[in-house]
A = this chain, B = another copy of it.
Amino acid sequence: MFTFDQLAGFIAVAEELHFGRAAERLNMTQPPLSRQIQKLEKIVGAELLERDNRKVTLTSAGEAFLDEARRLMALAERAPVTARRIASGRSGVLRVGFTAASGFSILGPLLGELAGIIPDVDIDLQELVTGEQLSGLLTGELDLGLARPPFDSETFDSHLLYRESMVVAVPAGHPLTLLARDITAEDFKDEPLIMHSPTQARYFYDLVVRMLPIRHANVVHTVSQILTMVSLVAAGRGLAFVPHSATLLGIKDVEFLPLEAGRGEEVELHALWNRRITNPALARLLRDLEFAME
C-alpha cells in the first residue's frame, strides 16, 4: 500500500509538472521525491508520469489516479475533523425515545429546544413505551428517554419535564358527559373500564389503581398505548383514564372529562438518561441545559 506522503508528492508533481518545484513546495529536496514517485508507480502498477528528460506530463492513468489521490487526501483531512466534532458533542446522533403521549405535547417544543442547543446533531426518534426506553438506555441503543416513572435512579438520571392531570375519556354522548359536576370514583362503579397494562404501562396502572378501587369485573381490555386506549373508547368499548395531553390526539367520538378536584392525581413526564454517558452529544446537551436552568 502506498502512503499519504507518496500521494501528496504525486499531487504536487502532477500540479507543478516539475520535480524540483514540487519538491520545494513540499519542503524537501528533489531526489527523495523522485524515489517516492517511482515507488508509488511501482505500487500502483502503472506509469503515472511521463518523464521526457526535459518536461513531465501526466499519463491518462496518471490523470485518473490524480483524481483519486485528491479525493483520498481530502477525505483523510476531513476524517479527524468530524471525529473531533463528534467527540466534542458538536455533531453526531442523539437517539431519543418517546412515548406516544409525549409525542403529542412536549416532543415538538423539545425538539425545537434541542435544535437550538445542538444544531449539528441529528436526532433519531423512536416511539417506545417506558419499559422499552429503559432497556434501550441500558443497552446503549438509546441516549435519551421521555418517559414516566418509575425507574431506577441509581442507573438513570432524570429531569422532570412537566406534570399533567388525568382525565377520563368517554365515548361521545355518553351519559356521564351530561353530568353537571366533576367525575368521582362512584361514577365508574358500573362502567366498563379500559385499563392500562400492568407490565407495559406500570405507571398509569399503579396510578389508576390508587385512584379508585378497581372492579376487575369491569376491565374489558388492558393495553399499553394511550392512542390505542382512546381508540377503544371511541369505539364504545368503555371508559379510560388518560393523561390530559391525550386530548390533543384529535380522535373523533371521544370526550374528555375532568376528574373531581383533588382526586385527579397528576402524572409526570421525565427526560431521563443513563448515568454512564457515552455519547458526547448528550454530555454537551446536558451541560448546556444545566447552564440554562441556573
Name A residues whose Cβ lies closer than 8 Å to a Cβ of B.
1-5, 43-48, 50, 59-62, 64-65, 67-69, 71-72, 75-76, 78-80, 82-84, 86-87, 92-93, 100, 103, 122, 124, 126-127, 139-141, 199, 216-217, 219, 222, 225, 227-228, 278-281
In the complex, what residues of B have CB within 8 A of residue A87's CB?
Answer: 45-47, 59-61
Q: Give the dominant DSSP class at A's interface.
A: helix
In the complex, what residues of B have CB within 8 A of residue A4's CB?
Answer: 1-4
Beta-carbon nearest neighbor of A222 in chain B: B126
Report yes or no: B100 in contact with A83, Cβ–Cβ below 8 A: no
A281 to B64, CA, bound (A): 12
Report yes or no: A75 in contact with B71, Cβ–Cβ below 8 A: yes
Are A84 and B69 also in contact (CB < 8 A) when A3-B3, A217-B227 are?
Answer: no
In the complex, what residues of B have CB within 8 A of residue A5's CB?
Answer: 1
Report yes or no: B71 in contact with A278, Cβ–Cβ below 8 A: no
Give me 25 A-to-B residue pairs in the complex whose CB atoms sit less than 8 angstroms apart, sorted by A's number: A1-B76, A2-B80, A4-B4, A44-B79, A44-B83, A45-B80, A45-B83, A45-B87, A59-B278, A60-B92, A60-B278, A60-B279, A61-B83, A61-B84, A61-B86, A65-B79, A65-B80, A65-B83, A67-B278, A68-B75, A68-B82, A71-B75, A71-B140, A126-B222, A217-B228
Report yes or no: B217 in contact with A71, Cβ–Cβ below 8 A: no
